């Protein structure tokens, strides 16, 4: 029940984040489009600089830049895997950074018909868009790492070892996952090295301290401490569905 609630909360957060990113990109795109038009003061254009100024303006927001914006904006709702989102997002970032470089170059030219205040505002908006794209890339990398990560197991098995003649031991370490902490060790004793894992001669559950049972009993100062050393016996019918015994 608790795990299901966590998944629902995580899913809700992801949906909210995706919608927020979509709104941010759409808003930035509208502002960038408006500023692109305002960068050039047409009333200041002259016959000498008319063509060169308009050509310079086109480098700020061409066809590829527009396609990059649309691609970036659609990623949130496209249902793509992180790996599938990586290439279009990288392409969008390249277009944003190219436009930023062109904007800085245009600002440095001090062209009479270019409104420097509008161009500086355009640069600010581009930097915000680039920051969002880089955040999205970081989130993709984190999501990929999360998907590739091997989930921690609540129980691990150690290879069977011989303790003494006719006494072989299998140990299963039992963990709490969050925060990860070893809680118990399940010990199963066998009379032969090849005995079926379910046919143990004796099984018991014990605390994970390295100190031996006899030594701990000797050191115990009170009856309550001696109770804590107690190892609970295990029967097959108690743990068959809990312990992942090997098939053979």
pLDDT tens digits, one per residue of 124-134: 999 999 999 99
Task: Give me Rg for the CA atoms of the chain.
Answer: 33
Residue 105 in domain = yes
CA distance 12 to 239: 37
- Look at residue 74 and tell me whether its pLDDT is greater than 80: yes
Q: Are 52 and 109 in contact (CB under 8 A)?
A: no
Q: At what angle do helices 82-109 and 50-58 cross, to 10 degrees?
A: 160
- Do 112 and 161 belong together in one domain? no
CA distance 207 to 188: 14
Instruction: Lay out the sheet containing 202-206: strands in order across.
Output: 155-164, 167-176, 181-190, 202-206, 232-234
What does the DSSP 8-state code read for residue 42? G
Residue 247 in domain = no
- 208-234: b (≥16 Cβ within 10 Å) or e: eeeeeeeebeeeeeeeeeeeebeeeeb
Whole-number Cα distances in Å, 14 to 8, 11, 17, 19, 143: 10, 5, 5, 9, 11
Q: What is the pLDDT of residue 78?
A: 83
- Do 120 and 192 belong together in one domain? no
CA distance 18 to 10: 12
Of 91, 126, 148, the one marking the end of a domain is 148
The percent of residues above 90 in pLDDT, for the chain, comes to: 54
Split into its structural domains, the chain has a count of 2
Distance of CA 102 to the CA centre of its chain: 34
- Do 36 and 144 belong together in one domain? yes
Give the residue-averaged pLDDT of 37-59.
94
- Look at residue 210 and tell me whether its pLDDT is greater than 90: no
Q: How confident is the model at residue 216 (pLDDT cuts 50, 70, 90)?
A: low
Range of the domain at 220: 155-239
């Amino acid at each position: 029940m608790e795990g299901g609630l966590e998944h629902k909360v995580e899913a809700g957060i992801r949906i909210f984040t995706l919608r927020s990113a979509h709104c941010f990109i759409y808003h930035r795109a509208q502002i960038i489009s408006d500023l692109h038009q305002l960068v050039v003061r047409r009333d200041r254009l002259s016959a000498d600089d008319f063509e060169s100024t308009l050509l310079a303006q086109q480098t700020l927001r061409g066809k590829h830049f527009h396609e990059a914006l649309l691609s970036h904006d659609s990623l949130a709702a496209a249902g793509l895997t992180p790996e599938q989102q990586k290439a279009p997002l990288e392409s969008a970032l390249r277009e944003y950074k190219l436009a930023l470089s062109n904007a800085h170059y245009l600002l440095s030219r001090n062209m009479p018909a270019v409104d420097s205040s509008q161009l500086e505002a355009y640069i600010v908006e581009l930097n915000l868009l680039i920051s969002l794209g880089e955040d999205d890339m970081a989130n993709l990398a984190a999501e990929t790492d999360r998907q590739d990560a091997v989930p921690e197991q609540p129980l691990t098995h150690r290879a069977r070892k011989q303790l003494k003649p006719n006494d072989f031991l299998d140990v299963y370490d039992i963990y709490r996952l969050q925060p990860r902490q070893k809680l118990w060790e399940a010990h199963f004793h066998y009379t032969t090295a090849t005995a079926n894992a379910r046919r143990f001669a004796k099984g018991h559950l014990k605390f994970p301290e390295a100190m031996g049972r006899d030594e701990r009993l000797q050191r115990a100062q009170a009856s309550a401490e001696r109770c804590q050393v107690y190892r609970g016996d295990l029967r097959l019918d108690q743990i068959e569905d809990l312990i992942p015994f090997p098939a053979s």
